[in-house]
Amino acid sequence: MKSLALILCGLLLVGCGATAPTSSTPTTVQADRPAGEFFESEDYFVIVAKSGDTPQSLAAKFLGDANKDWMIEDFNGAASFTPGQSVAIPKRPWNLSGVTSTGYQLVPILTYHDLAPAAKGRMIMGAKGFEEQMRYLKANGYRVVTLKEYVEFVSLQRQLPKKSVLITFDDGYRSFLRYAYPVLKELGFSATLFVYTDYVAAGGNAFTWPELKKLSDEGFSIQSHSKSHGDMVRAQGEGAAEYDKRLEAELVQPKALFQKYLGYAPDIIAYPYGRQDDTVARRTKERGFTAAFTVRRQGSQSFVDPHRIHRIQIYPEMSMADFVKSLSVFSQETIK
């Protein structure tokens, strides 16, 4: 069992440099594998793959959840196994921060606005282009995480799959239901909608509250995009008292409407136009928002400022190659 011994050595090395495992309860498994083909420590199982074993089947069996297949894939650096191959199955997260000796994990956070049958201008995405992008993510092993999972990653409470992506939609266009929702549902993807409350129920292409409630009940995240979509940074010549009142309204007024129609107050916000400064970020935090999103063309690392999380705007004119470039999930760093 030379390969098994090698893996065990590897695990010991990993154990030295990795984040301490969290205190989640270890899984207990009835080992049905012959002695010598199965090893269990406090943090890992090591098994010898049999014909038909997949990351999904092993995750279901050893971790009690087929959706934890990414843990096996990421740890072993492989999505399939040949019979006889040793496979390590981590019982717990082994790197909450995504930081390694060669760099750190990035989570691309994609931002969309309106959708229509055909692309129009800079902000209206064509339905077909959107669908192609989503299918690309699926076909290439990207894992769409929820807003909650992402925020837990930023507070070092959750390890995310290496190829994680977060999908967001701004403003509150009900075209989402027709052109994005069916594709997302089919692929099993979740998404976050940042809505500004002056627009909700405004008629035309605006979401209604019951539509948002239904999406929320289905597991989509609905969060704030301010009250009026005004620039939250103080304008030139704007009086201090006047600005203070305006900023307060943008942050606080949406809370009552969310509470009334969705049953909770928003605790995450996307700044209109991604615009913020120290004052805006500080007040946002003071008003109970645990995370806030800007717009900046790069992925976000676990140690990003939680009140200035980057998002990547996806424009209709972007080619597939441009889109793929936006999906970088690792920043290579030389640490001396």
Question: Which residues of the chain form contacts with Zn ion (CB under 5 A)?
Answer: 170-171
Residue 114 CB: number of other CB atoms within 10 A?
Answer: 20
Q: Of 130 and 199, which has the nearer Cβ to Zn ion?
A: 199
Q: Which residues pair with 88 in a beta bridge?
A: 46
Q: Which residues pair with 89 in a beta bridge?
A: 45
Q: What secondary structure does DSSP assign to 53-103, as a single string?
A: --HHHHIIIIIS-GGGHHHHHHHHT-S---TT-EEEEESS-S-SS-EETTE
Q: Of 71 and 280, which has the nearer Cβ to Zn ion?
A: 280
Q: Which residues pair with 169 in a beta bridge?
A: 112, 193
Q: Of 170 and 250, which has the nearer Cβ to Zn ion?
A: 170
Q: Of 154 and 195, which has the nearer Cβ to Zn ion?
A: 195
Q: Of 149 and 170, which has the nearer Cβ to Zn ion?
A: 170
Chain position whose Cβ is nearest to Zn ion: 170
Q: Of 43 and 198, which has the nearer Cβ to Zn ion?
A: 198
> Minimum CB separation from Zn ion for residue 225, in Å?
6
> Minimum CB separation from Zn ion for residue 199, in Å?
9
> Minimum CB separation from Zn ion for residue 122, in Å?
12
Per-residue DSSP letter, 272:
G
> Minimum CB separation from Zn ion for residue 273, in Å?
7
Distance CA(153)–CA(301), nearest Å, equals 9
Distance CA(65)–CA(56), nearest Å, equals 8
Which tokens hold the place of 59?
């995750």
> Minimum CB separation from Zn ion for residue 171, in Å?
4
> Minimum CB separation from Zn ion for residue 229, in Å?
6
How far is the CA of 13 from the CAs of 6, 16, 102, 114, 290, in angstroms?
11, 5, 16, 49, 35
Distance CA(270)–CA(17), nearest Å, equals 35
